[in-house]
């Protein structure tokens, strides 16, 4: 693993004073970074600052000396399509431009994988929003760049295509490429990323491994008890007197000591409830962000 990108105290302010403030993080080969945060948090501003699209940024962006501009590809939030070329040529030209080996074959592969087969000869103006997004993503996949930066690549894709696309990106990171992806599809991102950059109002709330993020924001004293059948109102009443109940099915409670686990199991068993399992509650990335918002 080798460091490929380092962002140091990056700030950018629009004229109205909005923007990003003192953002720092670094990535290595093989990293898949999820850039997350509410709409307006500063994700696109950060990406555009890293790429130098925005002028007069403060701070520094360091990229591995061995890489050149050609090794970095970018998919903006709004579409970048060559409207005068047909769909196939939009992707093929990118492959040629980037010097991709077996450019034609690679173009066909990528187009098939992303669900653009049959659309090769089509004029881009005849495509739907989601299909246009696929053209743009196909261009990125075919480009063989080392660092792939994507701003909301899945926003207008159907769930199946989005899932397939993120899987392809993850496969690319397994070959040592680095991906930075901003998205609101948190459940999907959680399956594929290894690092998280969480931004709120232009500032970093968290940067690090996905697992550290989940551990840090998971309330570890919540337990779920999976049981069969239902609980009578009477039983519910007595449980709520002893525990802070967050959910009834599965029975999810805040537990502070081992004795409390035993107590709740005893109450259930005494009332002839069959307990199947007990699990420490683990919130997903999406649940954590929703709770924080
Ligand atoms: N061109 C601009 N001029 C002035 N303010 C802007 C401009 N572009 C964005 N902003 C403001 O900067 C902040 C960050 O915007 P940004 O586009 O980076 O958010 P985002 O996290 O990408 O949101 P989304 O999820 O909606 O894409 C917002 O408050 C936005 O209103
Ligand atoms: Mg954005």
Architecture of domain 219-292: 2-Layer Sandwich (3.30)
Q: Is the CB of 153 under 6 A from ligand 1?
A: no
Which backbone phi and psi does 107 adopt, to 5 degrees? -60, -45
Predicted local confidence at residue 274, as pLDDT:
94
- Using the mean position of ligand 1's atoms as its centre, give its distance from the Cα of residue 41 in Å: 7
Q: Ligand 1, from 10, 19, 35, 40: best to mutate by most atoms within 8 Å of Cβ?
A: 40
User: Residue 227's closest CA among 260, 270, 256?
Assistant: 270
Q: Is the CB of 41 under 6 A from ligand 1?
A: yes
Predicted local confidence at residue 283, as pLDDT:
87
Q: Is the CB of 78 under 6 A from ligand 1?
A: no
| Range 164-167, long-range pairs (CB < 8 A, 24+ positions) | 164/113, 164/114, 164/115, 165/114, 165/137, 166/191, 166/192, 167/192
Chain centre to alpha carbon of residue 111:
23
**Residues with a beta carbon under 5 angstroms from ion ligand 2:** 43-44, 77
d(CA 128, CA 6): 37
Range 141-161 burial, b when 16+ CB lie within 10 A, else e: bbbbbbbbbbbbbbebbeeeb
The tally of CA atoms less than 13 A away on the side-chain side of residue 131 is: 16
Report the DSSP beta bridge partners of residue 20. 12
Structure tokens at 218: 């998971």
Predicted local confidence at residue 220, as pLDDT:
67
Q: Interhelix angle for 103-113 vs 129-142, to 10°?
A: 140
Predicted local confidence at residue 185, as pLDDT:
95
Q: Is the CB of 215 under 6 A from ligand 1?
A: no
Q: What is the model's pTM? A: 0.85
Predicted local confidence at residue 219, as pLDDT:
65
Predicted local confidence at residue 259, as pLDDT:
81
- Using the mean position of ligand 1's atoms as its centre, give its distance from the Cα of residue 245 in Å: 39
User: Which ligand 1 atom minimizes the distance to the CA of 184?
Assistant: 25
Predicted local confidence at residue 23, as pLDDT:
97
The domain limits of the chain are: 3-216, 219-292
Predicted local confidence at residue 56, as pLDDT:
80
What contacts 120, CB < 8 A, 6 or more positions away? 86, 87, 88, 111
Q: Which residues of the chain have pLDDT under 70?
A: 219-220
Predicted local confidence at residue 99, as pLDDT:
82
Q: What is the CATH number of domain 3-216?
A: 3.40.50.300
The tally of CA atoms less than 13 A away on the side-chain side of residue 185 is: 21
Predicted local confidence at residue 48, as pLDDT:
95
- Using the mean position of ligand 2's atoms as its centre, give its distance from the Cα of residue 215 in Å: 27
Q: Is the CB of 108 under 6 A from ligand 1?
A: no
- Strand pairing category for 147-151 and 178-182: parallel
Predicted local confidence at residue 103, as pLDDT:
93
Q: pLDDT tens digits, residue range 24-63? A: 999 999 999 999 999 999 999 999 999 999 988 899 999 9
Largest interatomic CA distance in the chain: 74
What contacts 182, CB < 8 A, 6 or more positions away? 34, 35, 36, 43, 44, 47, 150, 151, 152
- Using the mean position of ligand 1's atoms as its centre, give its distance from the Cα of residue 13 in Å: 10
């Amino acid at each position: 693993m080798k460091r490929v990108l380092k962002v140091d105290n990056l700030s950018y302010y629009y004229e109205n004073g909005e923007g990003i403030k003192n953002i720092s993080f670094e990535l290595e080969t093989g990293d898949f970074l999820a850039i997350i945060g509410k709409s307006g948090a500063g994700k696109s501003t950060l990406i555009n600052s890293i790429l130098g699209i925005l002028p007069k940024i403060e701070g520094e962006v360091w990229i591995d000396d061995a890489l050149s501009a050609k090794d970095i590809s970018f998919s903006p939030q709004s579409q970048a399509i060559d409207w005068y070329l047909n769909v196939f040529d939009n992707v093929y030209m990118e492959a040629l431009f980037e010097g991709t080996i077996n450019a034609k074959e690679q173009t066909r592969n990528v187009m098939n994988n992303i669900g653009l087969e049959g659309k090769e000869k089509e004029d881009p103006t005849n495509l739907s929003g989601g299909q246009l997004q696929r053209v743009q993503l196909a261009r990125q996949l075919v480009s063989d760049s080392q660092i792939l930066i994507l701003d909301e690549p899945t926003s207008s894709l159907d769930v199946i295509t989005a899932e397939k696309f993120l899987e392809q990106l993850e496969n690319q990171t397994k070959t040592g490429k680095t991906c930075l992806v901003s998205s609101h599809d948190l459940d999907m991102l959680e399956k594929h990323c290894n690092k998280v950059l969480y931004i709120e109002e232009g500032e970093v709330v968290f940067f690090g491994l996905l697992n550290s993020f989940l551990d840090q924001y998971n309330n570890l004293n919540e337990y779920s008890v999976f049981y069969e059948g239902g609980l009578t109102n009477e039983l519910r009443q007595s449980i709520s007197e002893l525990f802070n109940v967050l959910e009834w099915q599965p029975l999810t409670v805040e537990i502070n000591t081992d004795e409390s686990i035993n107590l709740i199991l005893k109450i259930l068993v005494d009332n002839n409830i069959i307990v199947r399992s007990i699990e420490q509650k683990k919130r997903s990335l999406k649940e954590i962000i929703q709770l924080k918002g």
